[in-house]
Amino acid sequence: MSWVNSSLDFAAIGFAAGALGTATGDICQSLPLKLLTFSCQFSTMADELAEEMIAKAEELTEEKKGPEAVAEATELAQIDPKDAIVWFVKGKAHYIDSQFEEALACFSKAAEIEKENPQIWHMMGYCLISMNNLQKAEECLEYVKTVEPDNPEAICELGICQIMQNKVEPARHNLEIAVAVNKPVTIRMLEHFHEKFFALSNEASSGTKAMIERALETMKLVR
């Protein structure tokens, strides 16, 4: 995907919220993933004070102390607004605090600085799913899959996003890839989304729920 000609418009993604679903906003909040706490390798480096504040904001985010993390990250952004990692950290803080529009705006600013960093687009994918903006989420995750073909979390998330759009065949294909890359991670993610969204949603069809349940059963049976 060319980022010069990409259909992913930073302003449109960052400030045009999708229709918030009743259950979707909570599905990523307790993800059993490393994504919210992984270290980021950006081309720009913050100074010593900013690095300390980044570490503090990350710690608060990991502890799911949303308001405190947002406050720390907001001060950080005022000190060092030209560093992509600053906006990435601030986006995660807002995300943990269920402030999805604000999180997406921050990820968009990070992406303007580090356009090809897949970690930014991966978090955008989670944020857009939480906002029920599934088509844009799918585009973000397709890019991550292209750049990181061995990333089971992104590929599984892509498959889940496609299931939520009733795109059965692409979803099945991506879940098979995710299983091949890392079966335990794929099962853990699928179980999480089933528990937090599919099993509770009145909008998900019975066929979709059955597909998820069959997929989980098959994954657990096949060695």
**143 belongs to a structural domain:** no
Whether 17 and 59 map to the same domain: the answer is yes
Whole-number Å distance between alpha carbons of 107 and 111: 6
Whether 110 and 220 map to the same domain: the answer is no
Query: pLDDT of 55-69, one tens digit each?
Result: 888 888 888 888 999
Whether 125 and 56 map to the same domain: the answer is yes
**76 belongs to a structural domain:** yes
Whether 157 and 127 map to the same domain: the answer is no
Listing DSSP states for 132-198 in one string gives T-HHHHHHHHHHHHHH-TT-HHHHHHHHHHHHHTT-HHHHHHHHHHHHHH-HHHHHHHHHHHIIIII
Q: Residue 15 sits in which domain range?
A: 7-133
Q: Is the four-CA dihedral 16, 21, 22, 28 of positive or negative sign?
A: negative
Domain boundary among 133, 164, 188: 133
**138 belongs to a structural domain:** no
**142 belongs to a structural domain:** no
Q: What is the CATH number of the domain that holds 126?
A: 1.25.40.10
Number of compact structural domains in the chain: 2
Whole-number Å distance between alpha carbons of 82 and 44: 9
- Which pair of tokens denotes residue 175? 């879940």
**105 belongs to a structural domain:** yes
Mean pLDDT over each residue of the chain, to the nearest integer: 79
Query: pLDDT of 125-162, one tens digit each?
Result: 999 999 999 999 999 999 999 999 999 999 999 999 99
Residue 15 has pLDDT above 50, yes or no: no
Whether 100 and 169 map to the same domain: the answer is no
Q: Which residues contact 4 (CB under 8 A, 6 or more apart)?
A: none
